[in-house]
Amino acid sequence: MHRTYSMRQSRAPTASQIQNPPPPSSSTKANRLFGRSHIGHTFRKSAAGAFGPDLAKKLSQLVKMEKNVMRSMELVGRERMEVAQQLSIWGEACDDDVSDVTDKLGVLIYEIGELEDQFVDRYDQYRVTIKSIRNIEASVQPSRDRKQKITDQIAQLKYKEPNSPKIVVLEQEL
């Protein structure tokens, strides 16, 4: 029986795969601190954004939670590919019709797993963007705080001494 797609034979990359290579692998695929355990998720979530400006803290928590989501999606994709291989191996010992169907079904499930893996890589790119926004937010916050402090001083001076020469100097600092 002719098998165009098979889990039991290696496939060469298609023209579209050569033309549009996948993005770099996500940052969660290596150097796992706590393995695949749930304790890592809990620790990161509670420790995220413990220091720094308030908005940057919230963005840090978002980034860490998104990392947990991404790790879970990565695990699902990897397990789906393993299931596809096991289905194909199981079907190999059956009748030709069952073997053919399980092999084709295994290919489809494996493709879904690969798509999920590509999605995780692109999801990591989104996280990188959020991280850069968080870093910019953290660097801009001190100037916002300084501006707010000057504005408060101006309001206080206008209330206490409406004709104070310091008001003009402080307004120029803004």
Report pLDDT digits (tens) over 22-78. Answer: 666 665 555 555 555 566 656 555 655 555 667 788 889 999 999 999 999 999 999
Query: CB-based contacts of 98: which residues, under 8 Å, 6+ apart?
Result: 91
Radius of gyration in angstroms for the set of CA atoms belonging to the chain, rounded to a whole number: 28
Residue 151 domain flag: no
Comparing 5-14, 119-128, 156-165, the range with the smallest average pLDDT is 5-14
How many independent structural domains does the chain possess?
Answer: 1
Give a yes or no: residue 147 inside a domain: no
Collapsed DSSP state (helix, strand, coil) of residue 140: helix
Instruction: Look up residue 27 and give its DSSP letter.
Output: T
Q: For residue 100, tell me if it sits in a domain.
A: yes
The pLDDT value recorded for residue 170 is 85
What span, in angstroms and rounded, lies between the C-alpha atoms of 90 and 2?
19
Distances (CA, A) of 123 to 51, 105, 129, 151: 25, 27, 10, 41
Residue 78 counted as domain residue: yes
Reply yes or no on whether the pLDDT at 13 is more than 80.
no
Two tokens at 148?
Answer: 């707010």
For residue 57, tell me if it sits in a domain. yes
102 in any annotated domain: yes
**Within-domain flag for 145:** no
Question: Span 118-123, mean pLDDT?
Answer: 94
The mean pLDDT value for 4-33 works out to 65
Structural domain of 112: 28-140
pLDDT(129) > 90: yes
pLDDT tens string 70-115:
999 999 999 999 999 999 999 988 898 999 999 999 999 999 999 9
Residue 9 placed within a domain: no
* CA within 13 Å, CB half, 149: 7
CATH number for the domain harbouring residue 76: 1.20.1270.60
